[in-house]
Chain A
Amino acid sequence: MLDIRNLQARVGGGGGADILKGITLSVNAGEVHAVMGPNGSGKSTLAQVLAGKPAYEVTGGTATIDGNDLLAMQPEERAHAGLFMAFQYPVEIPGVSNAYFLRSAYNEIRKTKGLEEVDPLEFLDIMEKNLALVDMDPSMLNRSVNAGFSGGEKKRNEILQMAVLQPRLAILDETDSGLDIDALRIVAEGVNKLRRPDNATIVVTHYQRLLNHIVPDYVHVLSAGRIVKSGGKELALELEEKGYDWLETPAEAVA
């Protein structure tokens, strides 16, 4: 589904430092991949580059989704192609209600699939069952997007959006950071319920604890912009025990 080859990227605007120095990663339908790594390893950048954040500039390599060139697409086209990134810091948009925002997004994606748009009433039905999934009150629909939301509410809202938009590939960018254990559980349960054989998830995280709830098929460890180690879910436990230090020295050798 997602095929990344030797992806390199840096902060845009010229003269920015290289952050991704050649990432190669394949994700198939039905799989959950965890991307871990210490601060500054490039794991969040990888997520944001895949989502098309304009702050970054791709300097080399390729990334395709279902064989289509992901890097040539605008951010909205990536969403239409089935990509979804849950933001580490969801953006507040005062003045735009969650209902309007999400219905606009939902309808845009439907249009690209040749489906009819849904009206506000139909959309309310769709929202109701998804709100329950992340334990959110319907009153949030009339509130502005993320405005005045607590950290936990913002992350649950990300999962709610994911539930409604039903992406083929979801990337959770440090969704667990700043969450207490209850919120973490709600978020993780939401993600698990959305797992299907035809979609895939990349969980970017600094901590192993999220992986107790979302069990990955593969774990990749990033260091200094490269994947320095890949393995099964047991790798996450090893990292929890030993920290990241033991991986950083041989980074050059592995790459």
Chain B
Amino acid sequence: MTAPVLLRDFEDFAANGGGGGPSWLLPLRRAAIDRFAALGFPTPKNEDWHFTSVTPIAEGSFRAVAPARSVRLEAADVEAFTFGRPDWIRLVFVNGRFDAALSSSAPRPQGVTVTDLATAWREQPHLLERHVGKVADFQRTAFTALNTAFMHDGALIQFAPDFQLETPVHLVFVSTPDAAGSASHVRTLIVAGHHAKATVIESYVSLGGAKGYFTNAVTEAVLGDGATLAHVKLQSESERAFHVGTLQAHQGRDSHLVSFSYAAGGELARTNIYTLLGGEGSGATLHGLYLLDGEQHVDQQTRIEHAGPNTFSREVYKGILDGASHGVFNGQVFVRPEAQKTDGKQENNNLLLSARARVDTKPQLEIFADDVKCTHGATVGRLDELALFYMKSRGIGAEQARKLLTYAFAAGVIEAVGVPEVRAELEALTLRRFTGADAGS
């Protein structure tokens, strides 16, 4: 997927109609690919990629086209990933393509639109034009530029003003072994009208030993005044997959973005959670959990831009690293001059289970207002020997004691998740990751 190959791929793609869509779309794609050509793949000299080399992606042979062949999946194949209740609105994508048969077709409640992107280009071109490419910044980020150039499928989710959806909308992106060698540039737009309140979950999963593929996902979110959007990203792709996923949000006055990012998959994976606290009194609560093992390299970057007065941010990311894995956390907080009375708190805690595991944690605060309260803290530690002894002295075996303590480290951040089904799923994922056991109580 070297840059020149991608540029040629784009010309082929454009010559074939650029995937269709409204008339403004191809010029947007072209602007994005031009920007990508100028930016190139990021190198460690780029401050945002200091600890992560994307060489395996840049020099991989991923083509920005759908796999030539793709098996049909049955509902039973994806059952394990479609946790939660049957009445949730659910869209399933296989190797980056929308699969209507696996998705819920029940009529949507009044006030909520959930549709695949191809349908949305036809039915909601003006809404898409207003936001797509305006929130996710392709001027600065090469992967977002690439996604914008090639975006082919994904979802449009719109919540009407004052609308409250009690059940989450669940997007499931499944990759199968057929995905090998391909890249999928999925794109999602979430628009929450003023005072709307809803939850969107994105799951990125692999099926049947899928490997050697690249997911480059971008989600744009627009939160109207007073809106609350809970966004959950569950990234449990294969340990032989490549993943870059970006959530970028613009927030209106008094809106609240509540994000949870779980990252346990990928040979090389990067999650970006970016938000612009534009409206006065808006806030972001960002939680994250990364669980790494083997040779994995998993990087999370968050960027919170306090651009309005009285904005707040709360951030807790936890990492558990085993094997020879390498984790990265970079938490950026920018406070613009007009963002007086900003209240920001950031915390990153890491637990190393092996001597070969490594983590780079980099809080990054840039404050240009003078009346603000911003704190950050980062820790890297090992399991507490005294706590292990305490558990063992009560009869709990050494292995079980280690597992319990490891799980407990993660539990604090999992408890912050609002939807009980998601919390249960996270508990199960976490316990399976390190204990091979079922969820305890």
Instruction: A53 to B391: give the CA distance in the assembly, Å.
Output: 11
Instruction: A102 to B409: give the CA distance in the assembly, Å.
Output: 18
**A102 smallest CB distance to B (angstroms):** 8
Instruction: A102 to B411: give the CA distance in the assembly, Å.
Output: 18
Name the interface residues of B49-99: CB closer than 8 Å to any CB of A. none
Interface centre among B385, B386, B407 (most CB of A within 10 A): B386
Contact check, B408 vs A79: say whether CB atoms are below 8 A apart: no
Contact check, B407 vs A79: say whether CB atoms are below 8 A apart: no
Query: Which residues of the other chain, B, contact A54 by a CB distance below 8 angstroms?
Result: 385, 389
Contact check, B395 vs A80: say whether CB atoms are below 8 A apart: yes
Q: Nearest chain-B residue to A142 (Cβ)?
A: B441
Interface size class of A (residues with CB under 8 A): 35 or more
Does B396 sit within 8 A of A, measured CB to CB? yes
Interface centre among B385, B397, B409, B410 (most CB of A within 10 A): B397
Interface centre among B398, B401, B409 (most CB of A within 10 A): B401
Contact check, B392 vs A79: say whether CB atoms are below 8 A apart: yes
**A234 smallest CB distance to B (angstroms):** 33
Instruction: A207 to B400: give the CA distance in the assembly, Å.
Output: 37
Q: Mark B22-60, 1 if CB is under 8 A from A, else 0.
A: 000000000000000000000000000000000000000
Does more than half of chain A's interface fall in helix, strand or loop, or is it mixed?
A: helix
Contact check, B440 vs A91: say whether CB atoms are below 8 A apart: no
**A123 smallest CB distance to B (angstroms):** 10
Name the interface residues of B133-149: CB closer than 8 Å to any CB of A. none
**B262 smallest CB distance to A (angstroms):** 17
Does A76 sit within 8 A of B, measured CB to CB? yes
Query: Which residues of the other chain, A, contact B412 by a CB distance below 8 angstroms?
Result: 94-95
Does B405 sit within 8 A of A, measured CB to CB? yes
Task: Out of B385, B391, B400, B441, name the residue touching A93 (CB < 8 Å).
Answer: B391
Contact check, B393 vs A101: say whether CB atoms are below 8 A apart: no
Instruction: A144 to B384: give the CA distance in the assembly, Å.
Output: 15
Instruction: A11 to B397: give the CA distance in the assembly, Å.
Output: 24
Query: Which residues of the other chain, B, contact A51 by a CB distance below 8 angstroms?
Result: 393
Does A85 sit within 8 A of B, measured CB to CB? yes
Q: Mark A93-131, 1 if CB is under 8 A from B, else 0.
A: 111110111101110110010000000100000000000
Given contacts A84-B394, A95-B408, A96-B404, 19 further A-B contacts (CB under 8 A): A52-B389, A52-B393, A76-B392, A76-B401, A79-B392, A79-B393, A90-B390, A93-B408, A94-B412, A95-B407, A95-B411, A96-B407, A96-B408, A100-B440, A100-B441, A104-B440, A108-B395, A108-B400, A144-B408
Ranked nearest first, the 4 interchain pairs of A and B with the lowest CB-CB distance are A95-B408, A79-B395, A105-B394, A91-B390
A-B residue pairs in contact (CB < 8 Å), sample of 30? A52-B392, A52-B393, A54-B385, A74-B398, A76-B395, A78-B393, A79-B392, A79-B395, A84-B393, A87-B393, A91-B386, A93-B390, A93-B391, A94-B412, A95-B408, A95-B412, A96-B405, A96-B411, A97-B441, A100-B440, A101-B394, A101-B404, A102-B394, A104-B400, A104-B440, A105-B391, A105-B395, A106-B395, A108-B400, A144-B408
